[in-house]
């Protein structure tokens, strides 16, 4: 379907008339038969015409916006009639409005602008710039000094007859200016005068140096103007004014003049923009002042130091502050805010690289705006608009989810983009202007802010108004007014050579490298925080390993006499305290013998127990014929010992026997012993006594010298084992604590980040990241313009009797309720107003059973549940 | 500048001079437009459009000016304003002095074509900068492919050519998309 390149070439030749006659005839023939070809021809004709038009328009625009030369002179009075809008921080326009006379036309004809002045476009000052109050500012290097001096306001000066006679004496303010460095003077009423260096000359036009005394009188209020007898007329026609300022420089008492090549900026705060303003010169005569020769302005933009501009979304700093302490920071600082902000980036190297690749390989084909709408990096509510129109408009019973926002994330400008543009390379572009700062703050509120930002970034070599216009087309209705006001500003550009492609390449490079940094930091932090955890884990595994070897060792030391082919009883680590054998089962060969003895006749049973159970306790019974002791199998602290039938001869050996109990644990070492005659007793109760190792040794020696050595040895092993087990327990506990601590921190950080992300987020789509609370897919309802829902809910077998369904919004407020299980909900609440986009729950219940389903309403328009600190407008659905 | 000078300079390619001269009429035209039911931004738009149409007309060697240049220009402005007002369903007596009353046929103003051009201009903003530049240099400034290749750092004239056609392709696709959307 796609026409081939060759075809374009052919058609181009045809349209431009560069085919030979024969070729043209042939082509005409082809054309007659092919609709597609006809379309192509039409397309190219129009395209070429459009290209020409576009270029022509640009020329017209350029030609009508350049400034001319000002002229120097000496006048002092300048009427600045202008008003500034503070709404979005518009720029200062400084012209006098030709007032409300009926003969506007004539006035215009009279005063055709001879040449326009390049005026400074300075924003309403804010606390961030470093102006001084009051009289001096010689030492203060002003905000804009040295940067954009070339675009300053040139004061139109005329001959000065300083014989204006005021009704009350002038309130003259004195300032000192050092010609070497210039200065920023701030008048009492808020006038800002920025004087560049080398701004004064003598009457011959030669630069002078030294300290200049600047005399300034402000007349911004009507009262002042009346008092000073400053009328606002131009040849008998009334002007409406915004203020007047008088400036006269002196050197050592002598009047000097303003240097026409180093103009001075003037800035006066006002309330409302009237773009028709012009600058007029004042001429005084006979004690009165008359204004004439108005000039229109051209608005150049002033470069401001990037450090002084605030590119971070409004209110973000306060959000961070509210979340402190964080990672040890208890106080807010701009570095902290910046680094937190940058770390919230949601892009990753693959997306950025992908974008860069796209740009490189498709450098001519792909433009910035398509790259930036790369859906894996950022999603905009707009881009994911569901245009599907469902025929049904009800919540039906059906399991199919329809629209699911696929791995959607947040929509906001990538913080790393912001970081990338706050670099030196962009210092000389219109990025570094108050005007851009204003626009950027608006962009932060757009769901497709990134896209809009990159429009500006790809048109740095053109007037800002070009980008304003392009942006206008991309924004939602609610923002159009703002962007229209931007367009109205007809903002131009800074006066610097802009190399767009270099800047674009630089921008991408920077983002990549910042991202790498962010990722490195994340990895490092991850490593550090889990380092302790890893330590503990390795310690634990060493311990457990040694534990198992200990077990083997412990068994190896048991008295196994002539154990041919019989392995010691196997016991799991957990069963260590019954490490004995069962009386009958496995066995050492000697016990076998004994067992035979038992089989003769009726063996005698004796129950041995201790008065109280102790941890890790064992009861041993001495088997006299074998001259050994064996542990008994215990159940509930009791063990059964068997002895041969009394009639057996061996029973005499057994008449004097003993049993003992041992317990070694964190409680200590306990011992109990009892000598008894099994034929006289069948219940033995042992009493514990606390003992130490040496005493134990003695006791055991006393009982039977032959056994104690191995018993002690095994006791020692036992001790070691217990100690080890204890250590392991401790370590496990430590590990657990550490894990919990890390988890807590992680949760805190995640909460911190997600709160901030939510603050920045401009789309109503919730994040489904790995940290998401509900990893399940959330269903989406998309009531589009026709209020058609696309959410089908299967309720399964439910009884319609006693059915209720409640739909609540994210704040828990019930927005809808019904008892009809086949209900259709039009996503409006009780008052019939449409429920805004967001997360909702539907709880339905019948006969005591209830179930809750979470879903999400996603509207095309910007209806949103307003998060606390933001303004949001409830909007109508779009056409 | 006399009328002849204006026409001559446009036809020779020195449009800037003519533009600047004609721009002096802007304040008055703006006032007229605002008085007749428009607003300031509309006035700028219309005036710029009128300059553009004026230049396009003059560039046609067959064109003959039958009135004063400024009168003609005012006429174009009035015509455009009338269109705009009609679109907005507003009506106004457009009694402008020193203004030629121009009709659609006089101006050879093809509404459909204008719409198409507007759309196409919009499409052109959507293609990449480099593409736009190529087009501008080739179709507007009539530079040769060699010059363009050199200026835009292409490796050869042919690669520039290929790129141009690729750009056309992209523009074509976009315009087709726009057509189906609108």
- Is the separation of the CB atoms in A195 and A176 below 8 Å? no
- Is the separation of the CB atoms in A93 and A82 below 8 Å? yes
- The last residue of one of the domains, among B67, B90, B109, is B109
- The last residue of one of the domains, among B76, B109, B142, is B109
Rounded to 5°, angle at Cα A39 from A35 and A45: 145
- What are the structural domains, with CATH classification, of chain A? 5-63 (1.10.10), 77-300 (no CATH), 303-378+414-540+707-764 (no CATH), 387-406+778-879 (2.60.40), 557-703 (no CATH)
| B27 and B39 assigned to the same domain | yes
- The last residue of one of the domains, among B109, B142, B170, is B109
Residues of B in contact with A364 (CB under 8 A): 128, 130-131, 134, 163, 166-167
Q: How far is B66 from chain A (nearest CA, A)?
A: 24
Q: How far is A431 from chain B (nearest CA, A)?
A: 19
Q: Which residue of A15, A45, A47 to mutate against B (max B Cβ within 10 Å)?
A: A47
Residues of B in contact with A368 (CB under 8 A): 128-129
Please write the tens of the pLDDT for every residue from A635-660. Answer: 888 888 888 888 777 777 788 888 88
Residues of B in contact with A487 (CB under 8 A): 41
**pLDDT of res. A41:** 92
Distance CA B18, CA B6 (A): 5
Q: Do A47 and B175 touch (CB under 8 A)?
A: yes
| B121 and B89 assigned to the same domain | no
Residue A362 has pLDDT above 50, yes or no: no
CB-nearest partner of B169 from A2, A60, A363: A2
Indicate the range of A253-262, A600-609, B155-164 predicted with least confidence: A253-262
Residue A88 has pLDDT above 60, yes or no: no
| B123 and B43 assigned to the same domain | no
**pLDDT of res. B49:** 92
The DSSP-derived string for A136-172 is B-SS---TTTTTSGGGPPPPP----------SS----
Residue A639, helix vs strand vs coil: strand
Per-residue pLDDT band for A153 (boundaries 50, 70, 90) equals very low
> Over chain B, what HEC string results?
CCHHHHHHHHHHCCHHHHHHHHHCCHHHHHHHHHHCCCCHHHHHHHHHHHHHHHHHHHHCCCCCCCCCHHHHHHHHHHHHHHHHHHHCCCCCCCCCCCCCCCCHHHHCCCHHHHHHHHHHHHHHHHCCHHHHHHHHHHHHCCCCHHHHHHHCCCCCHHHHHHHHHHHHHHHHHHHHHHHHHC
Average model confidence (pLDDT) across chain A: 67
Give Rg (Cα) of chain B. Answer: 19
| B141 and B53 assigned to the same domain | no
Taking alpha carbons only, the member of A487, A365, A341 closest to residue A418 is A341
| B97 and B126 assigned to the same domain | no
| B9 and B64 assigned to the same domain | yes
Mean pLDDT of B62-77: 89
Taking alpha carbons only, the member of A420, A461, A434 closest to residue A147 is A434
Residues of A in contact with B132 (CB under 8 A): 54
Residues of B in contact with A2 (CB under 8 A): 169, 173
- Is the separation of the CB atoms in A306 and A230 below 8 Å? no
B177 near A CB under 8 A: no
- Is the separation of the CB atoms in A762 and A871 below 8 Å? no
Tokens for A456? Answer: 């500006």
Distance CA A94, CA A265 (A): 11
| B128 and B74 assigned to the same domain | no
| B146 and B120 assigned to the same domain | yes
**pLDDT of res. A778:** 64
Strands (E), A570-678: 604-610, 617-623, 628-631, 634-635, 638-643, 657-665, 668-676
Type and span of the H or E element at A211 = strand A211-219
Q: Do A51 and B169 touch (CB under 8 A)?
A: no
Q: Which residue of B10, B128, B161, B180 to mutate against A (max A Cβ within 10 Å)?
A: B128
Domains contained in chain B, number: 2
Q: How far is B3 from chain A (nearest CA, A)?
A: 19
**pLDDT of res. A825:** 79
Residue A192, helix vs strand vs coil: strand
Distance CA A321, CA A333 (A): 9
Tokens for A705? Answer: 């010298």
Chain B segment 23-62 residues within 8 A of A by beta carbon are 23-24, 26-28, 31-32, 40-41, 44, 48, 51-52, 55-56
Residue A595 has pLDDT above 80, yes or no: no
Of the two residues A567 and A439, the one the predictor is more confident about is A439
Please write the tens of the pLDDT for every residue from A114-150. Answer: 222 323 223 333 333 333 333 333 333 333 332 222 2
**pLDDT of res. B51:** 92
Residue A528, helix vs strand vs coil: helix
For residue A300, the 8-state DSSP code is P
Which domain CATH number covers B130? Answer: 1.10.10.10
Per-residue pLDDT band for A849 (boundaries 50, 70, 90) equals confident
Taking alpha carbons only, the member of A310, A309, A329, A313 closest to residue A321 is A329
- Is the separation of the CB atoms in A712 and A697 below 8 Å? yes
Residues of A in contact with B44 (CB under 8 A): 490
Residues of B in contact with A367 (CB under 8 A): 126-129, 131
Type and span of the H or E element at A853 = strand A849-857
- What does pTM read for this prediction? 0.35
Please write the tens of the pLDDT for every residue from A380-419. Answer: 222 223 333 333 433 332 323 222 233 345 678 888 889 8
Which domain CATH number covers B45? Answer: 1.10.1740
**pLDDT of res. A575:** 34
Distance CA A227, CA A817 (A): 70
B155 near A CB under 8 A: no
Indicate the range of A49-58, A342-351, A700-709, B86-95 predicted with least confidence: A700-709
Q: Quick one: closest CA in B to A4, which residue?
A: B169
Q: How far is B27 from chain A (nearest CA, A)?
A: 6
Q: Do A487 and B172 touch (CB under 8 A)?
A: no
- Is the separation of the CB atoms in A615 and A670 below 8 Å? no
**pLDDT of res. A440:** 92
- Is the separation of the CB atoms in A48 and B56 below 8 Å? no
Residues of B in contact with A49 (CB under 8 A): 117, 120
Q: Do B125 and A9 touch (CB under 8 A)?
A: no
Please write the tens of the pLDDT for every residue from A801-831. Answer: 778 888 888 777 888 888 877 777 778 887 7
Instruction: Give the orientation angle of helix A35-63 with respect to helix A5-16, to 10 degrees.
Output: 70
| B40 and B129 assigned to the same domain | no
| B30 and B51 assigned to the same domain | yes
Type and span of the H or E element at A593 = helix A589-599
Q: Do A364 and B167 touch (CB under 8 A)?
A: yes
- Is the separation of the CB atoms in A594 and A626 below 8 Å? yes
The residue range of the domain holding B146 is 112-181
- Is the separation of the CB atoms in B29 and B74 below 8 Å? yes
- Is the separation of the CB atoms in A201 and A265 below 8 Å? no
Q: Quick one: closest CA in B to A7, which residue?
A: B165
Of the two residues B16 and A784, the one the predictor is more confident about is B16
**Helices of type H across A180-272:** 222-227
| B46 and B117 assigned to the same domain | no
Please write the tens of the pLDDT for every residue from A229-267. Answer: 666 555 555 555 656 777 888 888 888 888 777 767 666
| B119 and B73 assigned to the same domain | no
Chain B segment 156-175 residues within 8 A of A by beta carbon are 161-163, 165-173, 175
Indicate the range of A20-29, A291-300, B18-27, B120-129 predicted with least confidence: A291-300
- What number of residues does chain A have? 879
**pLDDT of res. A664:** 80
């Amino acid at each position: 379907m796609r026409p081939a390149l060759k075809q374009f070439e052919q058609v181009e030749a045809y349209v431009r008339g560069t085919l030979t006659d024969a070729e043209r005839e042939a082509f005409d023939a082809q054309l007659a038969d092919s609709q597609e070809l006809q379309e192509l021809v039409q397309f190219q004709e129009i395209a070429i015409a459009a290209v020409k038009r576009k270029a022509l328009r640009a020329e017209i625009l350029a030609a009508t916006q350049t400034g001319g030369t000002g002229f120097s002179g000496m006048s002092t009075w300048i009427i600045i009639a202008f008003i500034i809008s503070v709404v979005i921080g518009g720029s200062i326009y400084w012209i006098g409005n030709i007032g409300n006379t009926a003969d506007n036309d004539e006035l215009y004809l009279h005063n055709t602008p001879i040449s326009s002045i390049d005026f400074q476009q300075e924003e309403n000052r804010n606390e961030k710039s470093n102006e001084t109050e009051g009289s001096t500012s010689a030492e203060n290097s002003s905000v804009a000094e040295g940067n954009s001096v070339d675009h300053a306001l040139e004061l139109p000066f005329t001959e000065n007859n300083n014989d204006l006679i005021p009704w009350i004496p002038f309130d003259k303010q004195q300032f000192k200016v050092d010609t070497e460095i210039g200065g920023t003077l701030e008048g009492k009423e808020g006038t800002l005068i920025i004087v560049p260096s080398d701004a004064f000359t003598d009457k011959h036009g030669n630069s002078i140096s030294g300290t200049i005394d600047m005399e300034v009188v402000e007349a911004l209020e009507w009262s002042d103007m009346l008092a000073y007898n400053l009328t606002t007329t131009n040849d008998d026609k009334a002007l409406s004014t915004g203020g007047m300022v008088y400036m006269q420089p002196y050197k050592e008492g002598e009047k000097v003049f303003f240097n026409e090549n180093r103009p001075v900026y003037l800035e006066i705060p006002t309330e409302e923009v009237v773009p028709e303003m012009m600058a007029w010169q004042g001429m005084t005569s006979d004690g009165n002042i008359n204004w004439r020769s108005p000039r229109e302005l051209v608005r150049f933009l002033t470069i401001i130091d990037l450090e002084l501009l605030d590119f971070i979304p409004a209110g973000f700093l306060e959000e961070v502050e509210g979340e402190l302490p964080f990672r040890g920071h208890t106080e807010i600082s701009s570095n902290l805010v910046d680094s937190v902000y940058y770390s919230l980036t949601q892009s990753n190297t693959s997306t950025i690289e992908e974008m860069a690749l796209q740009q490189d390989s498709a450098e001519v084909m792909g433009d910035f705006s398509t790259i930036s709408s790369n859906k894996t990096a950022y999603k905009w509510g707009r881009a994911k608009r569901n245009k599907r129109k469902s025929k049904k408009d009800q919540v039906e019973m059906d399991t199919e989810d329809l629209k699911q926002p696929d791995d959607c994330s947040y929509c906001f400008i990538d913080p790393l983009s912001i970081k990338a543009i706050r670099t030196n390379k962009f210092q000389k572009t219109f990025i570094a202007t108050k005007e851009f700062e204003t626009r950027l703050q608006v962009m932060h509120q757009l769901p497709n802010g990134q896209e809009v930002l990159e429009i500006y970034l790809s048109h740095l070599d053109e007037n800002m108004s070009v980008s304003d216009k392009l942006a206008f087309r991309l924004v939602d209705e609610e923002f159009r007014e703002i962007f229209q006001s931007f367009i109205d500003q007809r903002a131009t550009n800074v006066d610097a050579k802009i190399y767009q492609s270099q800047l674009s390449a630089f921008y991408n490079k920077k983002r990549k490298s910042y991202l790498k940094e962010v990722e490195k930091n994340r990895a490092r932090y991850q490593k550090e925080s889990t380092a302790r955890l890893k330590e503990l884990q390795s310690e634990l595994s060493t311990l457990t390993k040694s534990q198992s070897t200990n077990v083997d060792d412990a068994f190896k030391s048991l008295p196994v006499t002539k154990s041919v082919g019989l392995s010691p009883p196997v016991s799991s680590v957990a069963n260590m305290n019954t490490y004995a054998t069962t009386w009958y089962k496995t066995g050492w060969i000697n016990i076998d013998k004994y067992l035979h003895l038992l089989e003769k006749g009726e063996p005698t049973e004796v129950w041995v127990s201790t008065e109280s159970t102790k941890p890790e306790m064992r009861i041993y019974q001495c088997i006299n014929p074998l001259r050994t002791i064996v542990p008994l199998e215990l159940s509930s602290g009791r063990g059964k010992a068997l002895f041969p039938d009394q009639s057996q001869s061996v029973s005499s050996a057994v008449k004097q026997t003993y049993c003992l109990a041992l317990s070694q644990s964190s409680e200590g070492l306990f011992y109990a012993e009892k000598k008894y005659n099994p034929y006289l007793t069948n219940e033995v109760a042992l009493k514990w006594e606390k003992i130490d190792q040496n005493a134990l040794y003695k006791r055991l020696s006393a009982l039977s010298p032959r056994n104690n050595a191995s018993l002690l040895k095994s006791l020692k092993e036992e001790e070691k084992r217990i100690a080890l087990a204890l250590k392991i327990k401790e370590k496990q506990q430590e590990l657990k604590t550490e894990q919990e601590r890390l988890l807590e921190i992680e949760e805190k950080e995640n909460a911190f980040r997600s709160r901030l992300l939510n603050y920045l987020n401009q789309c109503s789509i919730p994040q489904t990241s790995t940290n998401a609370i509900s990893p399940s897919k959330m269903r989406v309802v998309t009531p589009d313009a026709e209020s058609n829902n696309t959410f089908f809910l299967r309720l399964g077998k439910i009884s319609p009797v006693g059915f209720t369904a409640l739909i609540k919004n994210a704040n828990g407020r019930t927005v809808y309720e019904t008892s009809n299980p086949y209900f259709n909900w039009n996503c409006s609440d009780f008052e019939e107003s449409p429920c805004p986009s967001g997360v909702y729950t539907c709880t339905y219940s019948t006969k005591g059973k209830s179930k809750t389903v979470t879903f999400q309403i996603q509207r095309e328009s910007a209806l949103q549940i307003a998060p606390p600190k933001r303004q949001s407008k409830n909007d109508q659905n779009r056409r | 500048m006399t009328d002849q000078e204006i026409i001559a300079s446009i036809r020779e390619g020195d449009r800037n001079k003519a533009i600047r001269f004609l721009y002096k009429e802007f304040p008055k035209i703006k006032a007229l437009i605002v008085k007749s039911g428009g607003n300031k931004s509309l006035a700028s738009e219309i005036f710029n459009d009128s300059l553009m149409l004026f230049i396009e007309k003059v560039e046609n060697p067959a064109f003959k000016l039958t009135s004063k240049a400024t009168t003609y220009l005012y006429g174009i402005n009035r015509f455009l304003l009338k269109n705009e007002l009609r679109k907005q369903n507003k009506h106004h007596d457009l009694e402008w002095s020193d203004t030629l009353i121009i009709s659609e046929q006089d101006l050879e103003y093809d509404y459909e074509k204008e719409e198409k051009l507007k759309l196409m201009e919009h499409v052109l903003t959507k293609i990449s900068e480099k593409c736009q530049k190529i087009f501008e240099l080739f179709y507007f400034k009539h530079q040769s492919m060699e010059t363009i290749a050199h200026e835009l750092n292409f490796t050869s004239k042919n690669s520039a050519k290929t790129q141009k056609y690729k750009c056309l392709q992209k523009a074509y696709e976009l315009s087709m998309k726009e057509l189906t959307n609108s």
